[in-house]
Amino acid sequence: MLSPLHKQLLNDYQQDFPLSPTPYRDIAEQLGVTEDQVLRAFRELSERQLISRIGPVIAPNSIGSSALVAMAVPDYDLEWVAEMISAYPEVNHNYERENRFNLWFVAVADDERHLRAVIEDIEHRTGYKTMLLPMLADYYINLGFELELHD
């Protein structure tokens, strides 16, 4: 069950997160709670895997280098391969798809060389080849969602 504070944090700060030296204090003041309550609530949301990170979304390849990557992984290896890939700090998300290429992820690095090194390391450690999918056109999809705040 989500508390009203959890819901408010999820609803109001998916976008428009305060860009200041004290964002959690700013949020606390806006919501009429303490900074410790905000930090504790975000930590709880993370522990419950309702959020994976707090950070900016930067347009692909505007800073550094990024790639959409697909892999064909047998079902019996899919879980451990996905967990291993998610452990890379350069991977911001991965997901399963119903296709021969059933594991997809986005990798971001400071430059093309670093990105290639990460992809090569993933191939080496998993034993599975990757398919890099270059961005041909840029599309913006707003991934925010609104929660109903009443119970």
Mind listing the pLDDT tens digit for each residue in 52-87? 778 776 666 667 788 899 999 999 999 999 999 999
> Selecting from 1.20.950.20, 3.30.70.3460, 3.10.20.440, 3.40.50.200, what CATH number does the domain 65-133 have?
3.30.70.3460
pLDDT tops 90 at residue 30: yes
> How big is the chain by its Cα radius of gyration, in Å?
18
Q: Which residue has the higher pLDDT, 149 or 100?
A: 100
User: What pLDDT, on a 0 to 100 scale, did the predictor assign at position 34?
Assistant: 97
User: What pLDDT, on a 0 to 100 scale, did the predictor assign at position 78?
Assistant: 96
Q: What is the pLDDT of residues 112-134, one digit of tens each?
A: 999 999 999 999 999 999 999 87
Angle (deg, nearest 10), helices 75-86 and 112-126: 140
C-alpha span between 108 and 89 (Å, rounded) = 9
Which pTM value belongs to this model? 0.61
C-alpha span between 113 and 122 (Å, rounded) = 14
